[in-house]
Amino acid sequence: MTSVHNFRELCHQHDLAATHQRQVIYETVLSLPGHPSPEMIYEKVRRKIPSISLATVYKNIQTFLDSGMLREVSLHHGAMRVDPNHEPHHHLVCMHCKSITDIEESDVTPVRLRSKLPRGFQVRRISVDVLGVCGACSSIAKP
């Protein structure tokens, strides 16, 4: 089974038209190491489809996120969030309204690393995000 068939099938499962642009965007995301930004994806996709528009990349990323084919790494991008709390603590994040609430470090089991990290990586701190939907948002409609 070729990757073309895989992609068409995947789109069909998610009720999406299998366009050439979509396929190249999706395969490009898979091919990029780490976690690319829309710009990075656009730059690489452009080499295969020079006429593609940045707006198309954005629209399709959004489509893939909505359909669950991709996931967003950082929920609170788009606006800086500032934290005056100097005590070690973790966060409760509402995926819907983007609210961030502190929880104490002792509210979660202690987190420790079990394996070696890439050489040279120096750990400063470990931050736990408990992602979900807050009471206020879940009592209203769910988009």
Q: Which is nearer to its own copies, 4 or 140 (CB)?
A: 140
Q: What are the C-alpha distances in Å from 84 to residues 60, 87, 88, 102?
A: 37, 9, 11, 11
* CA end-to-end distance (rounded Å), the chain: 35
Distance CA 28, CA 120 (A): 29
Residue 117 Cβ, how far from DNA at the closest point, in Å? 27
Q: Per CB under 8 A, which of residues 6..35 are in contact with its own copies? A: 29-30, 34-35
Question: With CB under 8 A as the contact rule, which of the stretches 3-11, 12-20, 47-55, 83-91 interacts with its own copies?
Answer: 83-91
C-beta of 16 vs 105, nearer to DNA: 16
Sorted by sequence, the CB contacts under 8 Å of residue 133 that are 6+ apart come out as 94, 95, 96, 142
CA angle 87, 90, 92 (to 5 degrees): 135
**Candidate segments 1-9, 12-20, 48-56, 110-118, binder of its own copies by CB under 8 A:** 110-118
Stretch 80-119 residues interacting with DNA (CB under 7 A): 80
Residue of the chain from 5, 71, 77, 112 that contacts DNA (CB under 7 A)? 77
